[in-house]
Structure 1
Amino acid sequence: MTTSTTSESSAATPLLDLQALVAAVRRRRRLWCSLALLGLLAGAAVAVLMPPAPSAVTKVLVAHQEDQPNDTGTLIRTDVEVLGTTRIADKALRSLKSPENADDFMREYRGTGLTNNLLQIDVTGDSDAEAVARAKALADAFVADHVRRMRETANADTKALLDRRDDMQSELAEVNKAIGDRSPGNDPKASASVESLFARRAELTSRIADFDQRAEDARLGTPRIITDTQIVDAPHAVRQSLPKAAGTNAAIGLVLGLVIGLALAAVGTVVADRPVLRRDIAANLGASVISELPRRSGRLWQRRRTRAARERLTASLARTVRDSAEPVSLLELGCARSASGIALNVARALAAEGPVIVIDGLPGSQLAGHRAKPGGPTVVSGERAAAVPDEGRRLGVGSVAPGTAWTDLQYLGTQTVLVVRAGHGSAAWLHTVARQLADQDIPVIGVVLIDPDPRDRTDGTLWDGLHIALRGHGERSARQKGTGRRRTERLPMWAAQVPDNDQEAR
């Protein structure tokens, strides 16, 4: 089985890198923390500036003729809808003697089915007394309407049963008359007819008794339904707690602000496509990450670690510049101040061995105000770089931000170390930087990552190709030997076939 490193790396690239997405969203914590705080303050402000209107609540026990133990709540939902009709609203307004429109009044109350037979009515008003009066009027109107409907239904059922009973009684009278008109005889056919009449009379008698019983049950059930339908919880005002309302609204605003902030941060991360992990930055620039530095000094207990990292980076870059036969430059992307500080530290470390000239090619004034000290490095602007004498070491500092004059970078140094702030440049721009430096024949020794993600555990070394740091030195050594030929890039290595068993080995 043969495979190539290039095909493996391309096939393993996910469509959406969740690790990079989480890291980028975490770097935008100012955004979603600010939105969460804004939601918290907005929720608390709404509770204070827009307090809820005075409200009252009451509960009504509603009995139904069709109540069943396995009812799914259809009857109580019907009662809730009936409560929200203009008929109930009109009756309540008439009892209150209010000129308010029924449609407007219906927006100020609502019904909730707590159980299959318990209805809760919530009403708002201009004051607690008005809200309580409205709740009582609505409850009374609903109970009266429900009782009326149940009574009408029971009366209609009773009338239908009695009418059917009367019809059967008329038929029974006809059957009795037919039986009485029969004369006794020994005719078999006459005997069979009489027997059928007697059977019909018995059936009609039984059904008449059944209809009488059902009509009686309908009449007796209505008073029970009327009695059971009543107000079980008297209307009372709902006490509003401002601290509780403010806390609830603040919590809701906090959650909503946090969710919106995280969503915006995630969408912005995907759209901007700015690498944060050292693995992605190294892959886009085509150079390995050789060191990392925080953007700020950090907390008190982290300053010693940051100072040690700066000293190690200074020593490493000073050794690189010292061992290099050609000038080295530092090119920044999104971290001009950090690049200036690194350049001055390296220049001071080299100043003990001889004169050092720092060529300032930065667009800003980070190095322009530096005052040269006796025995220290000398800072000159990029315009005066051509007039600088060749004696001593030169260390150029420039930028690869958008708008860079790429052809001028070779005057800062024929080799470079990129100082890049994580999450600053897009993937497309990092590709542009790598391509432009390659076109200018400026090899990249390595990348110094500024403000890295503290939870980044990815590898910033390019294992699937030539190391950029080694390639830069190798190319220069080859040129010094007079070959004048750039070392070609290494082709993908094919894995050797390994026999699966002894037979294949033989």
Structure 2
Amino acid sequence: MTTDRTTEALPDSPASAPLLDLQALVVAVRRRRRLWCSMALLGLLAGAAAAVLLRPEPTAVTKVLVTHQADQPNDTGTLIRTDVELLGTTRIAGRALKSLKSTEKPEDFMRDYRGTGLTNNVLEIEVTGESDADAVARAEALADAFVADHVTRMREAAEAESQALLDQRDRVQGELDEVNKSIGDRTPESDPAASASLESLFARRAELNSRIADFDERAAQARTGAPQVLAGTQIVDTPRAVRHSLPRAVGTDAAIGLALGLVLGLGLAAVGTVVADRPVLRREIAAGLGASVIAELRHPPRRPAGRWQRRRTRAARERLTRSLARAVRDGTGPVSLLELGCARGTGAIALDLAGALTAQGPVVVVDGLPDRRLAGLRPKPGAPAVVTAERAAAVPYETRRLGVGSAVPGTVWADLQHLGTRTVLVVRAGHVSTAWLHTVARQLADQLIEVIGVVLLDSDRRDRSDGTLWDGPRTVRPDRSERPARPSGAGLPRTERPPMPAARIPDTEQEAR
């Protein structure tokens, strides 16, 4: 019993096509280098201009050592954050303005400075002003106002704590006076009947004396601890103006602008490439048009090129002309060149091809381009004649005609057959979408116009894809226990040569005979 083997998905089938071709994306982004280079240059200039035009205001900075009565080694910065918030109050801003004898409102002055807690006990104050001297004066006044406010608060807190302890001591002293008054001059020996009550009074007096001594000691410690806190809070870094280096700022901002512009440009180029879906690789263009790429040529430069570049371009155009001339001579019927996004290059190729064909007889170039680009040129001595499509009917029958037309959107497809029954498509890479390539191939097939091949202009130099289509059958290697499947997809265009079919091994001795 034999079983039919299911044909596997081929690499170039639509089902196995990748959702995003990274090679095509990289090539398309590299081709749009003008966009992202312009964006990078724009970001560079914008960053440099921002550094020059948006120069920072004169700034002064100072550092204050702040000591707290409740300082703990494991403090998470709560106290210094409290000091930062207290710095941004109208009370301290008003004191600083008062020392400066300024009429500015404290609310407005608070927007010109800020505090930052560097450590648990170091506060940095940054102040802006109209000039460096003004900024330094304002920073000094603000630091003095903060230190004075902190010292005042610490002193008031110490005095309040000491006074509370002294008040408790006075209250206990009053109780002690009452106990002493109750004891009087009595002793347990003089009054044996009241010895028990006297002993309790003596114990109470001893307790009260101990509490009074404790309150005195704590009040003394509170008064003694305040001077340490007050003396520890001071300005440890005198106010100084912050020096801003303009070249460094320009370099930093320009580098940041360059990076941001480059990233933005690459992102726009990638998104535009994916959205536009304009093929740039040889295999994509060949698959879209259903014809092989027979030649490649760089786009004619608009500026005068160098000697080496002119020689290289001239050699490539001569090879292309010889190849097209052979294709035209080997076939029958008029031939046309149809452009897709490269009318100027197509016209130059047509004139070169017509000049190469004049050796075998008279040649007339029929200009079917929308703007009559070739018909408006001044003919050179010995060059083939150029006529418009309306005057093509007057050309003698024995004269070879070479049509030049366009297949861009808006083309009248029925007019292309009058230019030639065979055509060579001259396509500029990355100019039209995949959908339009399919439209051109379908319309040419409907008009019974044979596509000889595709000439690719302005292609990527690093493109290593194959632009040749193969119409061979697609086969799969059979197993020994199965019969080979029927070749599927025969006649479909491929961009790679199909594998050779493997020899079938006979299953039985009878089959071998």
Question: In the aligned structure 2, how far is the partner of 1:396 from the partner of 1:332?
Answer: 11
Which residue of 2 is the match for residue 260 of structure 1? 264
TM-score normalised per structure 1:
0.79
Which structure 2 residues correspond to residues 96-175 of structure 1 after superposition, within 5 A?
Answer: 96-158=100-162
Quickly say closer, same or farther: Cα 1:427–1:105, change in 2 above 3 A. Answer: farther
Which residue of 1 is the match for residue 371 of structure 2? 364
Which residue of 1 is the match for residue 27 of structure 2? 23
Quick one: which of 62, 70, 84 aligns to 1:58? 62
Residue pair 2:116, 2:125 contacting (<8 A) in 1 also = yes
Quick one: which of 317, 320, 329 aligns to 2:324? 317
Residue pair 2:9, 2:16 contacting (<8 A) in 1 also = no
Q: Which amino acid aligns with 1:350?
A: L
Further displaced range: 38-47 or 99-108: 38-47
Shift, 1:27, TM fit: 2.4
Residue pair 1:2, 1:494 contacting (<8 A) in 2 also = no
Which residue of 2 is the match for residue 333 of structure 1? 340
Shift, 1:60, TM fit: 1.4
Quickly say closer, same or farther: Cα 1:411–1:97, change in 2 above 3 A. Answer: same
Question: In the aligned structure 1, how far is the partner of 2:244 from the partner of 2:207?
Answer: 67
Q: Secondary structure at the match of 2:257?
A: helix
Shift, 1:388, TM fit: 2.3
Quickly say closer, same or farther: Cα 1:126–1:372, change in 2 above 3 A. Answer: closer
Which residue of 2 is the match for residue 232 of structure 1? 236
| 2:225 corresponds to 1:221 | yes
Quickly say closer, same or farther: Cα 1:290–1:117, change in 2 above 3 A. Answer: farther
Q: Secondary structure at the match of 1:123?
A: strand
Quickly say closer, same or farther: Cα 1:275–1:41, change in 2 above 3 A. Answer: same
Residue pair 1:2, 1:497 contacting (<8 A) in 2 also = no
Question: In the aligned structure 2, how far is the partner of 1:426 from the partner of 1:243?
Answer: 47
Q: Which amino acid aligns with 1:225?
A: V
Quick one: which of 61, 65, 88 aligns to 2:92? 88
Q: Secondary structure at the match of 1:260?
A: helix
Shift, 1:336, TM fit: 0.7
Q: Secondary structure at the match of 1:449?
A: strand
Which residue of 2 is the match for residue 476 of structure 1? none
Percent same amino acid among aligned pairs?
Answer: 70
TM-score normalised per structure 2:
0.78
Which residue of 1 is the match for residue 314 of structure 2? 307
Which residue of 2 is the match for residue 420 of structure 1? 427
Further displaced range: 293-302 or 357-366: 293-302
Shift, 1:163, TM fit: 6.5
| 2:455 corresponds to 1:451 | no
Shift, 1:42, TM fit: 3.2
Further displaced range: 41-50 or 352-361: 41-50
Question: In the aligned structure 1, how far is the partner of 2:81 from the partner of 2:503?
Answer: 74
Shift, 1:406, TM fit: 0.8
Gaps of 5+ in 2: 190-195, 474-489
Q: 1:243-298: per-residue Cα shift (whole Å, max 9, x none)?
A: 33333333333333333333333333333332223333233333332222111456
Question: In the aligned structure 2, how far is the partner of 1:105 from the partner of 1:172?
Answer: 56
Shift, 1:64, TM fit: 2.9
How many residues matched? 471
Which residue of 1 is the match for residue 392 of structure 2? 385
Shift, 1:300, TM fit: 4.8
Residue pair 2:117, 2:124 contacting (<8 A) in 1 also = yes
Further displaced range: 228-237 or 424-433: 424-433
Which residue of 1 is the match for residue 484 of structure 2? none
Residue pair 1:295, 1:451 contacting (<8 A) in 2 also = yes
Q: 1:51-77: per-residue Cα shift (whole Å, max 9, x none)?
A: 332222211122233444444444333
Quickly say closer, same or farther: Cα 1:274–1:161, change in 2 above 3 A. Answer: farther
Quickly say closer, same or farther: Cα 1:209–1:6, change in 2 above 3 A. Answer: farther
Which residue of 2 is the match for residue 436 of structure 1? 443
Gaps of 5+ in 1: 185-190, 468-487
Residue pair 1:421, 1:449 contacting (<8 A) in 2 also = yes
Q: Secondary structure at the match of 1:452?
A: coil
Question: In the aligned structure 2, how far is the partner of 1:414 from the partner of 1:105?
Answer: 85
Q: 1:314-370: per-residue Cα shift (whole Å, max 9, x none)?
A: 121111111112222211111111111111112222211222222111112431144
Which residue of 2 is the match for residue 350 of structure 1? 357
Question: In the aligned structure 2, how far is the partner of 1:237 from the partner of 1:380?
Answer: 80
